[in-house]
Structure 1
Amino acid sequence: MKIRIATRRSPLAMLQTNEVVERIKLSNPECICEIIEMESEGDLTDAPLHTIGGKGLFVSKLETALANKVADIAVHSLKDVPAMIDSQFSIVATLPREDYGDALLLREGLTINDLSKNLKIATSGPRRKSQLLAINPELNIVPIRGNIQTRINKIEAENLDGLIVAKAALNRLEIVYPNMYAFSENQMLPAAAQGAIGIEVNSMELESDIRNLLKLINDQPTYQATEIERKIVASLEGNCLSPISALCKISSKDTELKVRVSNQDGTEVYNEAVRFNLENKTDALKGFIETLIRNGAKEIIQQ
């Protein structure tokens, strides 16, 4: 069996793709994996993503490769995949989730206590920006683009006081930053599917041998949790402009789901949480989503 794997060319994307290859080889040592490196639309510009089409720019070119049968599977940072994707495609597997939290990389000499001051903090998304402003509305939040190492280099080059990145990216790339603070869930709830690697296929291939192989490498707890988180974002009609956070934790006894929505400047923040048994997932999520909508979650994220 041969599997053609579409991926972005960034160091993080390649590392994640190689992890997928390793797991495929463990399940089927005779499988031949061909990696197809691609530059996504999002990689070809430094403009803020929310001004040019959102995180879907990282996905569209890989999906085109699936549609044109140039590739059999595509590997993504699942948080970059829009919650609502075309029915032509399906997320069919996830690898075990890395740390789902956000990290604040601070300039030398600063501590988390300095976040009460008028610091210049760089971040690439409205979700992080709104939660930062909820902590301190006087912060100067500036946009930033580039791969992780490029962003870190900009702390000094652009005279930043701090930079927010996903803890998972630092861990996977084995980057140890000397002055890092890991946010708690209460301080900054993560994006849906943050820390998870997702594998996407053409929906026409759902009954194929490749699909059966992907079932073997799928981490079911991560798949179930991220599916729930993405369902929340989709139900609120969220996009790259939407400050929506969702975190689902599944244990043997119960499932805990936390959601946070806010307006763009962090002056209005709404938190909601629920616990339920996975056997009652459908009814529990239906009721939870109804509560979110009834309490104005859709309107808040549009402010």
Structure 2
Amino acid sequence: MAEKTIRIGTRDSELALWQAHTVQKKLNDLGYKTEIVAVKSQGDIILDKPLYELGITGIFTKTLDIAMINGDVDIAVHSMKDVPTALPIGIVQAAVLERANTLDILVHKGNLDFLEANGTIATGSLRRQAQWLNKYPNHNVVDLRGNVNTRMQKLQESDWNGAVFAAAGLERINLKPSDYIDLDWMIPAPAQGAMLVVAMANDEYTLDAVSQLNDIETEVCTYIERQFLRTLEGGCTAPIGALAKYNEDEDTIHFDGVLFSLDGKQKIEINKVVDISEWKKLGFHSAKEILDNGGAELMANIKATLKK
């Protein structure tokens, strides 16, 4: 086959463009021709029903999936934590890039006295909300949505004490302010800090090119975390955190997984260290333990509450 130009689909937010340009540079360094295609947002596209009758939810990824299926772009680059655990038929995981910072951070305004008293914290994430309320039950948590730039601006214009962000997103576009603290007690979202490249399953040229960007350690760890999420979730969003880390010296995987109630009052967690040979089912077995330990009932309550 003649060498083709790999078209990289992206949304037009600053972070999405940064991610697309990062992948572009890596592919160019390997000698591939590329171009970046900014894809219009979902509102500009009529969604064909059959593609999404699979119950696929990814609001951030849908537009790019359709652009790929329609043949307008060859690959899409995503923050992996935003990608549903089930990809649409015909689309496959082509590479997971080496992971960046996995931490959540609190961007705050002024001093931190409010941590000991009453505070108002903003986040649009059920996981961050539940963990914050678990640690600071007398705080008020308000909803915050939009891309990172929008959320930073909303924080500055508000009377909130702070807002929770993924460190990686702010670091990538140099938005991380000096007024922040690492929330090392907060278990991150599954695959936080990792970037995922997806391609069409039948596009051998592109899959061969992109596979060279894959970081095997990140791929294994995010696989475990997303398997944990998928086993717990069953298609429902819930306050779930997961982090797998590879220990090179001992050739082991350290896994932390947690499920919270929406109000943060209930917490079911699991911590495991296993030999690397057991990685394939680690997420599944960890989730099953949580489900057997009260998690099934908790997930049913969460689903019922969110449906209201």
Matched, 1:61 2:69: no
Q: Give the conservation status (yes or no) of the 8 Å contact 1:40–1:57.
A: no
Residue range with higher mean Cα deviation, 192-201 or 149-158: 149-158
Judge which range, 267-276 or 78-87, deviates more.
78-87
Corresponding residue number in structure 2 for 1:276: 274
Paired with 2:289 and 2:16, the residues of 1 have a C-alpha distance of 37
Relative to structure 1, the CA distance from residue 96 to residue 102 in structure 2 (aligned partners, 3 Å threshold; closer, same or farther) is: same
Per the alignment, residue 90 of structure 1 pairs with: 92
TM value normalised by structure 1? 0.88
Matches within 5 A, 1:226-237: 226-237=222-233
Q: Does 1:156 align with 2:148?
A: no
Alignment match, 1:38 = 39
Q: Give the number of equivalent residue pairs.
A: 287
Match of 1:124 in 2: 124
Aligned residue runs from structure 1 range 261-272, under 5 A:
261-272=259-270
CA drift at 1:144 = 1.1
Structure 1 spans left out of the alignment, 5+ residues: 45-52
Partner of 1:295: 293
Q: CA deviation at 1:285?
A: 4.4
Q: Distance in 1 between matches of 2:43 and 2:119?
A: 28
Residue of 19, 28, 31 corresponding to 2:22 = 19
Q: Secondary structure at the match of 1:265?
A: coil
Q: Cα deviations across residues 53-86 of structure 1 (Å, max 9, x unaligned)?
A: 9971110010001111111111101100012223
Q: Secondary structure of the residue that 2:255 maps to in structure 1?
A: strand
The letter for the 1-side match of 2:244 is C
- 2:157 paired with 1:144: no
The one-letter amino acid paired with 2:196 is G
Task: From the superposition, tell whether residues 228 and 43 of structure 1 become closer, same or farther in structure 2 (CA, over 3 Å).
Answer: farther
Cα-to-partner distance string for 1:10-58 (whole Å, 9 max, x where unaligned): 0001001110011111222xx22111112434999xxxxxxxx997111
SS at match of 2:233: coil
Q: Give distance in 2, aligned partners of 1:40 and 1:114.
A: 39
Q: Is the 8 A contact 2:114 2:161 kept in 1?
A: no
Give the distance between the partners of 2:142 and 2:16, measured in 1 at CA: 25
Say whether 1:104 aligns with 2:100.
no
RMSD: 2.1
Q: SS state of the match for residue 189, structure 2? A: coil
The 3 A distance-change label for structure 1 pair 143 and 39 is: farther
Question: Is contact 1:55-1:240 (8 Å) kept?
Answer: no
Partner of 2:199: 201
CA contact (8 A) 1:237 1:298 kept: no
Secondary structure of 1:105's match? strand
Contact 2:231–2:284 at 8 Å: present in 1 too?
A: no
Q: What pairs with 1:223-262 in structure 2 (closer than 5 Å)?
A: 223-239=219-235, 241-252=237-248, 253-262=251-260
- Unmatched segments (≥5 aa) in structure 2: 46-54, 303-308
- Runs of 4+ aligned residues of structure 1 deviating over 6 Å after TM superposition are none
Q: 1:170 to 1:107 in 2, by over 3 A?
A: same
Q: CA deviation at 1:152?
A: 1.6
